[in-house]
Amino acid sequence: MRGYRFATVQGPRIQWALKRNCSISPGQLAWFYASLCVVSLGIATFFWLQGATLILPFAWAELAAVGIAFLVYARHATDGERITLSGPRLVVELENAGRLERAEFHRDWVRVEPRSDQRSLIELSGRGQSVQVGRFVRPEHRTALAQEIRRALRETA
């Protein structure tokens, strides 16, 4: 069995872990936001003490807006797709904003195909259910991912 570009092999199990490309983790973002609050409120308090009374309310409003934007970012920072081929089962788990969807297929009945063109998402279907994967893979690499999943389904049968 040749190596895989997108998957990791652990014994008889093959797993594709496709994650969102995030430059900062939610924990790091919380520390950054806390330091931003300290600095911004410190500067606003200084000017408020100098007599600029509207500085502090605007600083609070700014930090609230930035905090909301950071919450939206952090909620989706851990989004991902996990495809696991183990024995006769292909399990697909999709996590989006903390919500987990799971689909399970029998390996002999799975169809792997692009939705409409080469740059679209990959559809895994079988026995009346289907799921789309490949959101976190660049469009030009989705065809290679689909071929890799097909190859794994054939070779490990």
Q: Are 125 and 132 in contact (CB under 8 A)?
A: no
DSSP letter for 23, please. Answer: S
Q: Token digits for 114?
A: 């692009």
Domain boundaries, the chain: 7-20+79-155, 26-76
**pLDDT the model gives residue 19:** 92
Domain 7-20+79-155 has CATH 3.20.20.450: no
Q: Residue range 106-135: average pLDDT?
A: 88
Q: For residue range 15-57, what is the model confidence (pLDDT) as tens digits?
A: 999 998 888 888 899 999 999 999 999 999 999 999 999 999 9
pTM: 0.77
Chain centroid, CA 77 distance in Å: 6
**pLDDT the model gives residue 118:** 65
Side-chain-side CA neighbours of 94 within 13 Å: the count stands at 12
CA distances to 2, 100, 111, 147, 150 from 141, rounded to whole Å, are 18, 24, 19, 10, 14
Across the chain, mean pLDDT equals: 91
Indicate if the pLDDT at residue 98 is higher than 90: no
pLDDT bracket for residue 78 (50, 70, 90)? confident
